[in-house]
Chains A and B, each alone.
Chain A
């Protein structure tokens, strides 16, 4: 089955960050399922996108004071992630990392208030092997984002960034600290309504001793923080919950010697990962992320997704595959039924408009104005998605970003449109086509054409094409039709 160009664009907007004209050429002759397999089995593609940082054919990065230091400077870490979103041959990997970043929302500002800035960047974004210390949280999402959710939760519970963010580093037997114990149930797994306050207190005790250790190697870039289970901090008595922890329905984690107490957390996380409310919540969230925020899943589809998740040992890849291969996802009626996140919008615009001479550094401030700074979610619940992205202030920021990008790319756009400059209408049609925008109704299309025709007589001169190509691009990318994906 062939998807056709609009179908390929749909798949790439959702399972990736959109498609450049060159991307489209390379995917042109793939069937639907070949394309999906290419995206889902991303491990088959080399993870070598970073090798192109600094290459003039790719979008630029700007280091602070000359050096580009994405492992120790958070602004550069943001740039590296954006660069990967624009150019990775594994777009779904970055997309899943973004999904988990929102799900396990962890903010740099709190971490950098607790540990040095370089260390705070490392715990969020250290690329494995670049410097001493465990991989950053975002790199963990890249590596484990399609694996078992149970294992991912264990990684998250031991993640140095999380141990600072939700204060697990301070959770001790003397006075248990509830922050992580609460949020792992409320936000990371089952959701509110499925547990009691007593469960929160018990969960805090479960994770006592899951702490942080500092390994001092002199300066901040070489030193690092790592997870350490500290038996002396663990509270070893039994913990009873209002929901089953074990397969036999037992709701009590037994008392254990402190030396073995780490097993408490493993048992608890295993129970949470397999809880039906967790399965439903994840299935819904992934539906909204990949399929639609406008059309809810029907009950049968939701149940099917839940059973895919549970029958595959809580692995995420089969669930994502189920959703992306579903008739729902591939149906044209689902095209453009999701509100783009600011980073999705910004990266897609770069891929579709062009990037030669542009930098990801220039995207950072607009993203903040649009309401999404990477590594800086507003709180542990993540960003307010969907319509929450579209306050008037954020919409002004999106329009202004469109203007910035169009101004930067005016010559490239005019060159690309050289074959379409016969008339204002042909120029408009060229850009509407290139920008994979949701269909324009007759009236707004008429408004756009009126703009293209205003006011001087059409000559097709370079100056006129540059002005109108930039103006039209700004209008299209800044229009509501472009904000939905």
Chain B
């Protein structure tokens, strides 16, 4: 995996380096456009979300039978109605904020998203979701390819995790990894004016393109992008929001940073936010409580605070949140109160322009032979909606891009979430 990542970048260094030395007026243009531009906030639940306990088919008798200790009792689920096949569905009890958003018509739930021959590997799975290419998931990211189509700007993408995910990899655009704007600043062993001299020198030293040493040029590019973004990012570091974001919730605090950037019009088009711990092989908890409930709480509390903050500022209409995970989990719980790697899962879209509701149909959890909603001998949920058709909808109808060019195929039959 890392080898292919290296290979692609070394092939793209020339184009890459040009990006970094792009004149700064481009950034100014982007900034000037910023307040008006739409943004996409991708939320990744890392580890493989157990989406049967996120959006729960609580009246399916097999749900409790196959999950005797980890099922959420019907009385606890937060009801959201039924899917088009008439199957009642409910949200996990820790998703109360999302239920409110659903009731406002601003949460779209897309059931059974995935792809044929779903990978059960975290790494291959996340690469497939990142590249939108199940057959050859080692190339550029789908969002990286999108960013190549918009005006160059070192902050057009922003990963709030330090390791920039494959979805944001591009040959031409380097997306910065900035977890915390408060530590994203230039420090010096000396006081002024020496400090300023150092910053000038460091900027110059990294501005050169050592053509005979592309790996060195790559790092120079990263440093240059850092200098180009330091002051803009720094302008967000004191942002606290219009409401209190939950403390001790790193996911929520990352979303607060994103809200700050949106609020101050930095012009970023794609943000990446993630929260981990979803690889729940053991001790998920029972009766709607325990480890999985904590994961749901983290997700719910962060998204709800972010949604409310943007809503308070009239920015909801410019923002789309798209949630996914690299796979769902096995239907039947394992011997340790957890679930192993599965296949199709739920995606969610949230935002002021979202047409809320339930898209797609829930699986029938009865493992009879030939059940078309299951695979792996009835062990896993099989996909109904190709995840790329959701991407396509977002690219075409939200970002104003061409999905067929970016995804390398026609996936325009996706659910009309925006």
Residues of A within 8 A of B (CB): 167, 170, 172, 174-179, 182, 186-187, 192, 197, 200, 284, 288, 293-294, 336-337, 339, 369, 371, 378-381, 383-388, 390-397, 399-400, 403-404, 406-407, 410, 438, 441, 443-444, 447-448, 450-451, 454-455, 467, 470-471, 473-475, 478-481, 483-484
Contacts and interface: CB of A to CB of B under 8 A. Distances in A.
B202 A371 contact: no
Interface in B119-142: 120-124
A392 B226 CA distance: 5
A16 B3 CA distance: 23
B28 interface: no
- Nearest first, the 5 closest Cβ-Cβ pairs linking A and B are A175-B335, A391-B177, A407-B189, A451-B201, A170-B336
A379 B222 contact: no
B229 A395 contact: no
Nearest to B334: A175
Given A454-B197, A479-B205, A392 B222 contact: yes
A484 B215 CA distance: 8
Nearest to B195: A471
Contact of A386 (B6, B185, B334): B6
A343 B9 CA distance: 23
A contact patch SS? helix
Given A175-B335, A175-B336, A387-B6, A441 B120 contact: no
Nearest to B337: A170
A378 B193 contact: no
B187 interface: yes
A478 B189 CA distance: 12
B197 A471 contact: yes
Nearest to A439: B213
A471 B9 contact: no
B229 to A, nearest CB: 6
A447 B199 CA distance: 11
Interface string B169-213: 000001011110001111111100110011011101110101001
B36 interface: no
Contacts of A479: 202, 205-206, 223
A387 B336 CA distance: 38
Nearest to A438: B216
A481 B229 contact: no
A16 B124 CA distance: 33
A384 B194 CA distance: 35
A399 B186 contact: yes
B194 A471 contact: yes
Given A399-B187, A448-B201, 11 more contacts: A178-B281, A284-B3, A379-B46, A387-B9, A392-B174, A392-B178, A392-B223, A444-B206, A475-B205, A480-B219, A480-B223
A100 to B, nearest CB: 16
Contact of B340 (A178, A386, A444): A178
Contact of B164 (A182, A369, A391, A480): A391
A231 B187 CA distance: 59
Interface string B238-276: 000000000000000000000000000000000000001
Contact of A172 (B5, B159, B206, B335): B335
10 contacts: A293-B6, A380-B122, A388-B5, A391-B164, A391-B176, A399-B223, A450-B204, A451-B197, A474-B198, A480-B205
Contact of B188 (A177, A443, A471): A471
Given A448-B201, A451-B198, A386 B335 contact: no
A66 to B, nearest CB: 27
B287 interface: no
B208 A167 contact: no
A455 B335 contact: no
